[in-house]
Structure 1
Amino acid sequence: MAIDSLVLGAGQEVGKSCVVVTINGKRIMFDCGMHMGHLDHQRYPDFSLFLNLNPTRTSITPSLASSSPTCTKRKQKPTLIFHLDHVGALPYFTEVCGYRGPIYMTYPTKALAPIMLEDYRKVMVERRGEEEQFSSDHIAECMKKVIPVDLKQTVQVDKDLQIRAYYAGHVLGAAMFYAKVGDAAMVYTGDYNMTPDRHLGAAQIERLNLDLLISESTYGTTIRDSKYAREREFLRAVHKCVAGGGKVLIPTFALGRAQELCILLEDYWERMNLEVPIYFSAGLTLQANMYYKMLISWTSQKVKETYSTRNAFDFKNAHKFDRSMIDAPGPCVLFATPGMISGGFSLEVFKHWAPSEMNLVTLPGYCVAGTIGHKLMSGKPTKIDLDKDTQIDVRCQIHHLSFSPHTDAKGIMDLIKFLSPKNVILVHGEKPKMATLKEKYSPNWEFNVMTLQTMRLSQFLQPTM
């Protein structure tokens, strides 16, 4: 019996996560993401690569002569989180490429994924004028195919294959998925966090007898400082800016860091008796906050314990931000999407606020190559070329402090040691960092550690009987 792995995305990069695993003839696709740093054919995984698989073991047969490949057999597809680099290509895969098999998500992911997908579609088509890759109807039809699952619920997909979801922390609804066919078993982590934060708990999984673990490695060479030290530095930078009359732009995705940092700011604002307004851009994050209130059982222990007296997501100092307020005088703090300043409202605000030395842009999370956020993190540019006709003067303060919900190198090592699989594949990380993690630690591990290049390599594993 064998486990075959084909990485269609996020092999040695961060973006468009998509891994196809075949366990004793049963094919599973984990994630179906898009790359936030590309606007061309590299945006989505190359689904035509299924043609390179053994046809007797392949469940999808796309036609290169057609723009609408068809699915000839069913293939199970768990989607682990709602972030676009994990779910962004899903409507394209189902409604354009014609996939007709089952799709599994946790209940929060099923609730939140269509919100993120529709927001992305609006930004790219209605505001940027790009050709539509999928429509609102495509999103709706895609979500009808989704089968929601509970944590630790064993789902018997067919007589041979069973899957089970485990709490991953990271963002609301994130899950690690366990899959087993016969005696062969594996876990795909997706994004996870081994450390609890203010609004979510740490990843939780039981000891399992695994032939393969596929783990993210975004921060594979980073050991983070104390969370409290990072929080103090963040609050100090924000307070200094608004005290001087400046505006603070915090580019975040609508769910996750926005709620984490707003809880932090709310507490600080009350302790310091500050009256500077805090804003969320448009309705996306406000809508997300509603789901956080509905899905309290997925949050941290502290949030659940205090829920009867105070809902942590009822933000007293946070308000909706309108476009007409961009050039309004006076200090403020604004959470704007998307988190990497790859487009959308955060980019619109950045154009207005970046030229002023009084203002601050603080980047709380990871930014993929090709985005403005990545350029700001990689140095201190004085100008950024948005396109051949648009140049942005950058005189504002730039502050990067990781509040990323991804686990760090210690967390990755702790999970691998705890699960002790026979084989490990590292994905969702930058190639040099993945190589460093593998070289530094794998000699001390009693199992095989691999990194697979996107689209070019597949690995065949023989589980021990």
Structure 2
Amino acid sequence: MQLIFHGGAQEVGRSCIELRTTGDRYILDCGLKFHEAGFDYPAKFFDVKELDGVFLTHAHLDHSGGLPFFEHYRMLCPIYCCTETKTIAQILLKDSHKIARIKHLHEAFNNVDLKEVATHMAGVRFNQTQPFRTIKHTFYNAGHIPGSASIKIEAEGLSVLYTGDYNTRTTHLMVPADPHSWGHVDVLITECTYGARDLPDRDKLQVEFLNRVDAVTKAGGRVLIPVFAVGRAQEILIMLAERDWPVPIYMDGMAKKVTRAVMDGDSQYVRSRELLARLFSKVQFITSDEHRSAVAEQPGIFISTSGMLQGGPAIHYLEHMWTDEKSAVLLTGYQVKGTNGYLLDNDKMAYIGGYRTKVRCDVERFDFSGHLSSADIKETVTAVRPRILILNHGNPENIKAINDWATGLGWCAVYAPKVGEQVDVNPDGTSSSLRVYEEGPNVQYLEEHQHAFDPREHEGGGGDDGHGGHTPSQSDENRSGVVHPDEHHDHSEEHDE
């Protein structure tokens, strides 16, 4: 068996692992990696038509966003995912398509390719082992966002468990993942997003967050809560439902459509669906630009995409409140360097009307992560006891922290591959090796088809929890790499945070 890492290795973004058995090729996820100049697809991939199956862990674009690109080159195989992932991924991919079309990033983003993705998606149920060709697959709840799964593949006498993004602690929205239910496996591929750090106590953080909302609203200020449309928007609503508020709660942007999809889903791993529906009925939804402008100057709690303030209606509210010292922007997740949210969090500055501006409203960040901590990753590895441990989905610092710990265990081989490397596993799982992946001198990889993108040639409009994606335009006044945001497009930063 061969495991080839086309993305998400020693990095966060464009998650894509190819699993090869005798005669068959499968991929685990197919994402994009966002950066200041646009985005990258999985690297060193060829002959998409020969793929036999895709297994998608969840809807975030750093795991699903490359699917239209693969469809463009005639991918003909089924895409297996949980039912809620199928629904939510189509919402995010459609939004991603709008932004890519506006920015002229790649010909793959057309309606035909999006329709092909939808056609090839096949919904599966959790905890049911299903045969497909020469393998078996089982989807387990990952506890990350609605529809998220950790996937076990059994092939050629070996078992491989790919965690995707997972969380082993209960949140308001999700039942946690249970690694004990996976059983012992030969190969465990685990994410290491926070491999070098522990996360704050979530209950304590929630109290601090709600107290801050309470203080600002009682002082006559407005509260802007930028959110990722999937997961974070719903969890914030559930938190707010625990108290009565003296001002209206408004929801704007793509969060409404995704929240409706979550409420209409049937996953047993989504908690508080009734509570979510109850508050959903009390929220005032913004229906037009005129409506948005009318309420922006009024006291209220504004829940709006995008989570990193790279676009969407959140920009509109910031433009109305940045001078108001009584108001506050409460960031609720990780802010990628080069985004407006990162500027706010670190320098209390943002691009307002195209100008880098010092804001006078309060800015605070509350780290409600959908991932697990370093201690939780170690607990998972100990519970599963794989023969082979592969670390991915993390920057080098976080990967190294888990690698240093795991190499001292003495009972498993540990690998931290880079993009463009592969792990070979022998049939009985007793030996394995890491090497550079190379298909041959005459193979043309898909990235050779990608269009070069110079952001200076595409300045202006448009423009992807957290994170389609933050696809920046970089002008002479904006050498820092922070994009000038656009309130008219969500820039759905629906990647991992």
* TMscore range, shorter length: 0.7 to 0.9
Q: What is the Cα deviation at residue 86 of structure 1?
A: 1.1
CA distance in 2, matches of 1:299, 1:400: 27
Q: Map residues 302-451 of structure 1 onto 2, 5 A cutoff.
A: 303=272, 307=274, 312=277, 314-321=279-286, 322-324=288-290, 325-326=292-293, 328-377=296-345, 379-382=346-349, 384=351, 390-444=355-409, 446-451=411-416
Change (3 A) 1:298 1:125: farther
Secondary structure of residue in 1 paired with 2:74: coil
- Amino acid aligned to 1:428: H
- State yes or no: 1:281 paired with 2:281: no
- Asked if the contact 1:179–1:186 (Cα under 8 Å) also holds between the matched residues in 2, the reply is yes
CA distance in 2, matches of 1:440, 1:396: 43
Q: Match for 2:261 among 282, 291, 295?
A: 291
Change (3 A) 1:23 1:398: farther
- Amino acid aligned to 1:85: D
Q: What is the Cα deviation at residue 434 of structure 1?
A: 1.7
- Asked if the contact 1:180–1:186 (Cα under 8 Å) also holds between the matched residues in 2, the reply is yes
CA distance in 2, matches of 1:448, 1:34: 29
Q: What is the Cα deviation at residue 419 of structure 1?
A: 0.9
Change (3 A) 1:451 1:249: farther
- Asked if the contact 1:36–1:368 (Cα under 8 Å) also holds between the matched residues in 2, the reply is no
Task: Give the TM-score, by structure 2 length.
Answer: 0.79
CA deviations 1:155-190 (Å, max 9, x no partner) are: 2111x2111111111111100110011211101111
- Amino acid aligned to 2:261: Y
- Amino acid aligned to 1:122: K
CA deviations 1:41-68 (Å, max 9, x no partner) are: x43223xx13xxxxxxxxx42xxxxxxx
CA deviations 1:71-94 (Å, max 9, x no partner) are: 442321101101111111111211
Aligned to 1:7: 5
| Consecutive unaligned residues in structure 1, runs of 5 or more | 51-59, 62-70
Aligned to 1:112: 88
- Asked if the contact 2:238–2:276 (Cα under 8 Å) also holds between the matched residues in 1, the reply is no
CA deviations 1:181-214 (Å, max 9, x no partner) are: 1211101111111011112101134243422111
Change (3 A) 1:362 1:177: same
Q: Match for 2:166 among 192, 195, 208?
A: 192
CA distance in 2, matches of 1:353, 1:430: 35
Q: What is the Cα deviation at residue 229 of structure 1?
A: 0.4
Moved more, 12-21 or 361-370: 361-370
Aligned to 1:45: 42
Give the number of equivalent residue pairs.
Answer: 425
CA deviations 1:400-444 (Å, max 9, x no partner) are: 111111111122112111111111111111211221222245413
CA distance in 1, matches of 2:122, 2:419: 28
Q: CA RMSD in A?
A: 2.5
CA distance in 2, matches of 1:37, 1:385: 21
Secondary structure of residue in 2 paired with 1:395: coil
CA distance in 2, matches of 1:120, 1:410: 34
Change (3 A) 1:349 1:125: farther
CA distance in 2, matches of 1:460, 1:370: 37
Secondary structure of residue in 2 paired with 1:166: strand
Task: Give the TM-score, by structure 1 length.
Answer: 0.84
Aligned to 1:459: 423
Moved more, 412-421 or 327-336: 327-336
Q: Match for 1:31 among 29, 32, 48?
A: 29
| Consecutive unaligned residues in structure 2, runs of 5 or more | 432-497
